[in-house]
Amino acid sequence: MKILIESLAVNVGSNKWHWKYDVNGNFTVAGIKKILSSVNHDSPVRAFEWNNWVPKKVAIVAWRAEMEQLPTKSAFMARNVPVQGQDCVFCGEYAETSEHIFVGCQFAQSVWLNITVWCNIQPIIASGINDIFSLHEVSSGSSKKRKAIHAAVLVAV
């Protein structure tokens, strides 16, 4: 034991933290961001875009729909909640998912068609719910018009 203690070199002075990922030993937020960006090469998930013209309690339905977190029949069945059939409540032909209710269903497509007529924009060609929520990004017109289109989409959902 005495040999172990005698061989130990103790530096006199103040203690200092040393960040091993920096040559100078200094931790910086920029440094950790650089490390994380080099590790995660996946593209970031598109963040939901809120619109302050739409009340939060209304837009939260769209937010949950985008995450497929609405209480649809398919969601209930996935959680082993008993439901009568899985078919869409509007058309009765396909499984009731958020994606189907807001994009694939003929009922939804008629709603979107009416919205495009009302907003005087090109018909919506959507392959997924994100295409609908990003419709205002590809629309022409002023930023106010695009914001109004985005608000109309969020309210319609």
Q: Could you give the 3-state DSSP secondary structure of residue 132?
A: helix
Smallest distance, Å, CB 94 to Zn ion?
5
If one asks whether residue 91 binds Zn ion (CB under 5 A), the answer comes out as yes
Taking the CA atoms of the chain, what radius of gyration do you get in angstroms? 27
Per DSSP, the residues of 18-63 read --TTSTT----HHHHHHHHHHH--SPPPPPP---TTS-HHHHHHHH
Contacts of 41 (CB under 8 A, 6+ apart): none
Interface with Zn ion (CB under 5 A), residue from 64, 90, 109, 139 = 90
Q: Which stretch binds Zn ion (CB under 5 A): 77-85, 100-108, 113-121, 126-134?
A: 100-108
Q: Which stretch binds Zn ion (CB under 5 A): 9-17, 52-60, 99-107, 119-127?
A: 99-107
Smallest distance, Å, CB 127 to Zn ion?
16
Q: Which tokens go with 55?
A: 């009340």
Binding residues among 107-146 for Zn ion as defined by CB under 5 A: none
DSSP label at 95? B
How many amino acids of this chain bind Zn ion (CB under 5 A)? Answer: 4
- Return the number of the residue (51 or 97) whose C-beta is nearest Zn ion: 97
Which residues in this chain contact Zn ion in the complex, by CB under 5 A? 88, 90-91, 105
